[in-house]
A = this chain, B = another copy of it.
Amino acid sequence: MGSSFGKIFNVTTFGESHGTALGVVIDGCPAGLSLSQEDIQPYLDRRKPGQSKYVTKRAESDAVEILSGTFEGVTTGTPIAMAVYNTDQHSGDYTALKDVFRPGHADFGFYAKYGHRDHRGGGRSSGRETLARVCAGAVAAKLLKEFGIEVCAYTKSIGPVVIEKHELSEAANNPFYMPDKEAAVRAMEYLEYEMGKNDSVGGIVECRITGAFAGLGDPVFDKLDANLAKAIMSIGAVKGFEIGDGFAAAEAAGSFNNDAFVMKDGRVSKETNHAGGILGGISDGDTIIFRAAFKPTPSIAREQKTVTVKGEDTALSIHGRHDPVIVPRAVVVVECMAAIVVCDALLTNATSRLSYLKNIYG
């Protein structure tokens, strides 16, 4: 259960890291959107492993196949199914893990929940699961672009190394997707140091959504930031989410935290953006800014204490092809989940006013 997300733009994912295929069905994508494999693959390539020495060496080709939902290069309004077949599965790598619960992983939870587990690389709880999210997010992002909405994520920090610049064009030039060349160098040094100790690191991804007009999101439970929080927290390894000033707002005074409204170029605008573009759960027309905290990769070669499925204390060193930091590859996943949320808000909002319906039905 729990593999579907979104009210109208409804995404259902499937697949295990070492099963036959992973994929996604998007039900509710409007008809008339130009779409082909070429729109999806670049997003998948951004999360592809093996691109630098700081990410896993697994040579996943991760080629997406569109199984349904388009005709002559355009979406038909029917479900868009996409699949990525698993090809480079070294299940053998995981035999040693068969009988132990890896610290920091979902192994024990799955075992407790289902009475068994798929020990091959985490099965459903593997990071490979995010492949399906990226496929869906690429479609969402394409649809948002039709309305001038762009979602852009990047690495804000690696361990204690925080960016000081926001040169977004720089992000693609370094292996950390940091929009600050110097910070990327410092991040590399920090990571090398921790890798030398057979250890791993975490970091923070920041995401900006531009072009989102005011009025997206629903009051009460389906607030735009509540849905973003769920979407982002549902990515494995995320331990925190904040929007706008986030936790810092808890220490601020109201007179500082409130963003004054001002007229600018004939439209309602804000002098500051402490809110991060969302007030009372509804977009205010400003840039939406949020952050996600990723924990360090739990799979480390360093020896750790743990227990076996039989309930015996033991020790464990995890070898194999693991990312010493997951953050750079997670940037596109954050971007894609955010795109799905905003896309869904855009669609549901179309039903919120009688006058909108009259625009459509005349």
Min Cβ gap A320→B in Å is 14
Residue among A79, A147, A263 with the highest chain B CB neighbour number at 10 A: A79
Contact call A257/B295, Cβ cutoff below 8 A = yes
The answer, yes or no, to whether A63 is at the interface (CB within 8 Å) is no
Partner of A77, one of B107, B252, B353: B353
Min Cβ gap A261→B in Å is 4
Contact call A359/B357, Cβ cutoff below 8 A = no
Chain B residues lying within 8 Å of A283, measured Cβ to Cβ, are 109
Contact call A304/B239, Cβ cutoff below 8 A = no
Given that A346-B357, A357-B347 are known contacts, is A67 also in contact with B14, CB under 8 Å in the complex? yes
Known: A221-B234, A350-B350, A360-B360. 13 other contacts (CB 8 A): A1-B77, A13-B221, A14-B67, A15-B67, A15-B81, A21-B81, A30-B351, A33-B354, A77-B352, A105-B279, A225-B233, A254-B298, A263-B311
Chain B residues lying within 8 Å of A244, measured Cβ to Cβ, are 239
Chain B residues lying within 8 Å of A66, measured Cβ to Cβ, are 20
Contact call B350/A357, Cβ cutoff below 8 A = yes
Contact call B311/A266, Cβ cutoff below 8 A = yes
Contact call A261/B108, Cβ cutoff below 8 A = yes
- The A contact surface, by secondary structure, is mixed
Contact call B305/A112, Cβ cutoff below 8 A = no
The answer, yes or no, to whether A125 is at the interface (CB within 8 Å) is yes
Contact call A356/B2, Cβ cutoff below 8 A = no
Partner of A249, one of B12, B240, B242, B251: B240
The answer, yes or no, to whether A32 is at the interface (CB within 8 Å) is yes
The answer, yes or no, to whether A23 is at the interface (CB within 8 Å) is yes
Partner-contacting stretch, out of A51-59, A115-123, A163-171, A181-189: A115-123
Min Cβ gap A65→B in Å is 7
Contact call B3/A219, Cβ cutoff below 8 A = yes
Q: Which residue of B lies closest to A65 (CB)?
A: B20
Chain B residues lying within 8 Å of A113, measured Cβ to Cβ, are 31, 77, 214-217, 282, 349, 352-353
Chain B residues lying within 8 Å of A94, measured Cβ to Cβ, are none
The answer, yes or no, to whether A47 is at the interface (CB within 8 Å) is no
Contact call A254/B204, Cβ cutoff below 8 A = no
Pull 5 A–B residue pairs with CB atoms less than 8 Å apart, ordered by A: A3-B79, A31-B116, A108-B214, A194-B253, A229-B230
Chain B residues lying within 8 Å of A27, measured Cβ to Cβ, are 1-4, 12, 14
Given that A214-B108, A229-B230, A260-B304 are known contacts, is A355 also in contact with B255, CB under 8 Å in the complex? no
Chain B residues lying within 8 Å of A312, measured Cβ to Cβ, are 263
Chain B residues lying within 8 Å of A359, measured Cβ to Cβ, are 359-360
Which residues of A, 164-206, contact B by the 8 Å Cβ criterion? 194, 197, 199-204
